Each structure stands twice: as C-alpha cells, then as structure tokens.
C-alpha cells in the first residue's frame, strides 16, 4: 500500500509493564520497519519497568515516564500517584510535540494513558491494541477518541465502538510461527530424553505461585511415570524451586528461571500447562498442541479466565481453576496424553483460532490512519 509521498514516517508506541504488552509492541514495530525501513520508531514506557530493558535489546529507542499504577490497597505509594501522573502527562506532551509522530500506538500498561491522551489532544491519530478478551479501564477510556481499536478476540463491541474495531489478533514473535523440524534441536538444547513425553510448564517471566506449588507436589510422580518436565518457575520463585528440585534429585525435571528460546520449548512440548495471559494464549494457538490453562485469579476483572474460556468454549483447551490446580496437574496431564483423539482435537481446534499475521494486520491499520 502506498500511504503518501513521505519517504519516512514517525511511529510512537507506548505501553509496557509486562511481556504481554511489550512483545506485541515490539512485533508491531518490527512488522512496520520491515515494510517501511526508513521510518523512525520511538517507544515510551514506564521508568523501572521491564520495557526499559527489553525494548533497547530489540534495537529500539525508548523514553521513560515516571507514571505508576494506583494500588488497590491503601498504601503510601498511592500518595505520590497524582504527582507522578501530572509529571508524566507533561512529559508525554513534550515527547509528542518534539517527535511529531504520524500516528501513536498504545498497547496497554501505565505509559499508554498519558501518551495517547497527549496525542489525542494534539489531533494526532491514535490506535489502541487491546490484547485481552476483557478490555481494561484505560483502554476503554482511550478508545473513545482513538481512530482504530485492534482486538484479539471477537465480540469486543461490548467495550468499543463497533465501527472502529479491527479483529487482528495479538502480534507474536516470528520464531514461533515456524516450529516444524525443531524438536530434535530442542531436545538437545534443553538436555531432554527423546523417548519421554515433555510437559512444558509456563507461569510467566515473574512466575506463578500455584503452578510452582503444583509442580513441587507432583514432580516425583511425573518423573516416575515416564514424563519429563521443562519448567519455567519465574524470577520470584526460582531460588526456592531450585533448592527443592536439587534436594529431590530428579533426573527428568528441568527447571529454568526463564526460557528465552520459546520456539524450542514449544517444539519440544507434548502438552503445555500455562497461565492465560493474552500473549500466552495467542502464542499457544499458533503452537497447536494440547494446553491446560490455569488462569491467574489476581488480575483485573478476572480477564485471564475470560481469555481461557474464549478457547475452552471451542474445545480448544482445558481449563483448570487456580484453587483446584495443586494436586491435579499430573491427573489432568494423564487424562489428556492417554487419549490420542483428544490430543488431536485440542491441537486442531486451538490452531483454528490462531491469527499468525496479526502484526501485519495492525500495520495495515496504521497505514490507513496515515493515508
């Protein structure tokens, strides 16, 4: 698509806080630069959050705002919230004024609010990318003045004006799109046994208490009954989990704080046990393998359960409630992996819901806003 006579475009992308916001943002930037290599892309994040490290690692410049969230509980940190917000609004206005973006993209997270608010005040077109099946408050407010809202789930007109919605899916890392032929490399990379079925356990980069407790309880049974577990414990829990697994001395329990090579982890897996964050759900739909979702109960509006149920209703995944997970991981795994027909149908059905070209679809929407 030809979007004008300019040779370069300036794209401002704001948001972050978690991998679920950051990785889609980077995927959008990569897809845009692939199509428009002469463009300038600038990110705006929140100081102290993981985007301040991850975005530069991906090769992009990022500016940090002092913005922070309002805690649900009454805490001393809430007293500084208005000051940080006002300072962030002022800085965001300056960034937009100086950078002069053609379009501003908000992916959610603390920094999205001030930046999109500033851009909308200056009549610069804005695009909101909502990853979840249940829209957050900030995105619902920003979407009122946004030119386009890109969503990952159908039926999002309950939150946003239907005429401005584009059903694009969530952008994911490109290496996940090509898993064929990687199993042998994955087995070697992680030191796995090619004869054993592999259970991949993912609680996110920070970790998930319930998944870790469940694995601690069942790991001896997994090892004894011919499985091997590739287990991402997360940053907060790694030390305790390492002590427990070393004490148990189980040969086929492979603990990692964080798995960087997710394409290889997915290629090795026969079944995946995971939280139901928006990015995880979107990635797993592309993988096309049986999934047990254990939604986190500690998120706004219980949106992880809603994310998971959007797949469960299509017989594309199995749901295990957080409060029931400890003591049932091995049982559910056995139930699925002992049933070849269920393995096939879960893999086939979840892949039907995949949106492999989400980043490219969002780029098309950005182009229409600039045209």
Residue 217's CATH number? 3.40.50.2000
| Binding-site annotation, residues for UDP-N-acetyl-alpha-D-glucosamine | 18-20, 132, 173, 205, 259, 278-283, 304
User: Does residue 361 lie in a domain region?
Assistant: yes
The string of pLDDT tens digits covering residues 237-261 is 999 999 999 999 999 999 999 998 9
Do 193 and 161 reside in the same domain of the chain? Answer: no
Read off the pLDDT of each residue in 350-359 and give the average, rounded to a whole number. 96
Q: Rounded to an integer, what distance in angstroms lies between the CA atom of residue 223 and that of residue 192? A: 12
Q: How confident is the model at residue 71 (pLDDT cuts 50, 70, 90)?
A: low
User: Can you give the pLDDT at residue 152?
Assistant: 95
| Residue 60 predicted with pLDDT over 90 | yes
Q: Within 10 A of 188 (CB to CB), how many other CB atoms are there? A: 12
The string of pLDDT tens digits covering residues 122-167 is 999 999 999 999 898 889 999 999 999 999 998 899 999 999 999 9
The string of pLDDT tens digits covering residues 283-319 is 999 999 999 999 999 887 888 999 999 999 999 999 9
Domain count, the chain: 2
Do 264 and 298 reside in the same domain of the chain? Answer: yes
Q: Is 264 exposed, middle or buried (0-12, 13-18, 19+ CB in 10 A)?
A: buried
Do 23 and 136 reside in the same domain of the chain? Answer: yes
Residue pointed to by tokens 């990785």:
23
SS3 of 40-75: EEEEEEECCCCHHHHHHHCCCEEEEECCCCCCCCCC
Residues in the chain: 371
The alpha carbon dihedral of 23, 26, 30, 32 has a sign of: positive
The alpha carbon dihedral of 262, 277, 19, 246 has a sign of: negative
Do 184 and 315 reside in the same domain of the chain? Answer: yes
Do 143 and 259 reside in the same domain of the chain? Answer: no
Mean pLDDT (the chain, rounded): 93
| Residue 171 predicted with pLDDT over 90 | yes
Structure-block tokens of residue 149: 């809202």
Spell out the residues 6+ positions from residue 179 whose beta carbon is closer than 8 angstroms to its own. Answer: 263, 266, 267, 287
Q: Where are the beta strands (DSSP E) in the chain?
A: 10-14, 40-46, 61-65, 103-106, 126-130, 148-151, 165-167, 197-202, 227-232, 253-256, 271-274, 291-293, 318-319
The CA radius of gyration of the chain, in Å to the nearest whole number, is 21
Q: Is 221 exposed, middle or buried (0-12, 13-18, 19+ CB in 10 A)?
A: middle
Do 152 and 27 reside in the same domain of the chain? Answer: yes
- The residue segments making up the domain with residue 362 are 10-170+356-370
Read off the pLDDT of each residue in 172-200 and give the average, rounded to a whole number. 95
Least confident of 80-84, 112-116, 133-137, 185-189: 80-84
User: Can you give the pLDDT at residue 1?
Assistant: 46
Do 127 and 161 reside in the same domain of the chain? Answer: yes
Structure-block tokens of residue 313: 């209703």
Q: How far is CA 135 from CA 81, 128, 274, in A?
A: 23, 11, 21
Do 154 and 197 reside in the same domain of the chain? Answer: no
User: Can you give the pLDDT at residue 76?
Assistant: 56
| Residue 273 predicted with pLDDT over 90 | yes
| Residue 73 predicted with pLDDT over 60 | no
Which residue, 361, 356, 367, is CA-closest to 147? 367
User: Can you give the pLDDT at residue 78?
Assistant: 58
Do 122 and 199 reside in the same domain of the chain? Answer: no
User: Does residue 3 lie in a domain region?
Assistant: no
User: Does residue 1 lie in a domain region?
Assistant: no
Do 196 and 334 reside in the same domain of the chain? Answer: yes
User: Can you give the pLDDT at residue 84?
Assistant: 83
Do 104 and 158 reside in the same domain of the chain? Answer: yes
Whole-prediction pTM value? 0.87
Edge-to-edge order in the sheet of strand 197-202: 253-256, 227-232, 197-202, 271-274, 291-293, 318-319
Do 216 and 312 reside in the same domain of the chain? Answer: yes
Structure-block tokens of residue 93: 């206005």
Residue pointed to by tokens 């070209």:
357
Share of the chain above pLDDT 90, in %: 82
User: Does residue 5 lie in a domain region?
Assistant: no
User: Does residue 2 lie in a domain region?
Assistant: no
User: Does residue 286 lie in a domain region?
Assistant: yes
| Binding-site annotation, residues | 18-20, 132, 173, 205, 259, 278-283, 304
User: Does residue 185 lie in a domain region?
Assistant: yes
User: Does residue 4 lie in a domain region?
Assistant: no
Q: Rounded to an integer, what distance in angstroms lies between the CA atom of residue 369 and that of residue 362? A: 11
Range 55-65 burial, b when 16+ CB lie within 10 A, else e = beebebebbbb
């Amino acid at each position: 698509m030809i979007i004008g006579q300019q040779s370069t475009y300036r794209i401002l992308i704001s948001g972050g806080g978690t991998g679920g916001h950051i990785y889609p943002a980077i995927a959008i930037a990569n897809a845009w630069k692939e199509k428009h290599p002469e463009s300038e892309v600038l990110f705006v994040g929140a100081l102290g959050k993981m985007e301040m490290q991850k975005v530069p690692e991906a090769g992009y410049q990022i500016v940090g705002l002092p913005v922070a969230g309002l805690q649900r509980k009454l805490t001393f940190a809430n007293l500084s919230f208005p000051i940080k917000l006002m300072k962030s609004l002022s800085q965001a206005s300056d960034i937009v004024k100086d950078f002069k973006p053609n379009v501003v993209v908000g992916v959610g997270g603390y920094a999205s609010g001030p930046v999109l608010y500033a851009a909308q005040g200056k009549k610069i077109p804005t695009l909101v990318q909502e990853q979840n099946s249940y829209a957050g408050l900030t995105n619902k407010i920003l979407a009122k003045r946004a030119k386009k809202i890109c969503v990952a789930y159908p039926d999002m007109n309950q939150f946003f004006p239907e005429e401005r919605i584009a059903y694009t899916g969530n952008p994911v890392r490109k290496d996940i799109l090509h898993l064929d032929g990687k199993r042998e490399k994955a087995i070697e990379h992680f030191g796995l046994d090619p004869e054993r079925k592999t259970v991949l356990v993912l609680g996110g980069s920070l970790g998930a208490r319930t998944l870790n407790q469940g694995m601690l309880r069942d790991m001896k049974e997994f090892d004894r009954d011919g499985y091997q577990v590739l287990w991402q414990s997360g940053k907060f829990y790694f030390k305790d989990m390492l002590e427990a697994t070393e004490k148990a001395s189980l040969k086929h329990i492979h603990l990692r704080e964080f798995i960087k090579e997710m394409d290889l982890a997915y290629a090795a897996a026969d079944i995946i046990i995971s939280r139901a964050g928006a990015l995880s759900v979107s990635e797993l739909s592309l993988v096309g393998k049986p999934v047990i979702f254990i939604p986190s109960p500690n998120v706004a509006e219980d949106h992880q359960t809603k994310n998971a149920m959007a797949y469960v209703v299509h017989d594309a995944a199995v749901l295990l409630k957080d409060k029931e997970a400890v003591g049932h991981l091995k049982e559910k795994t056995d139930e699925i992996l002992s049933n070849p027909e269920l393995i096939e149908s879960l893999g086939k059905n979840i892949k039907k819901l995949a949106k492999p070209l989400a980043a490219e679809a969002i780029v098309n929407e950005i182009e229409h806003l600039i045209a």
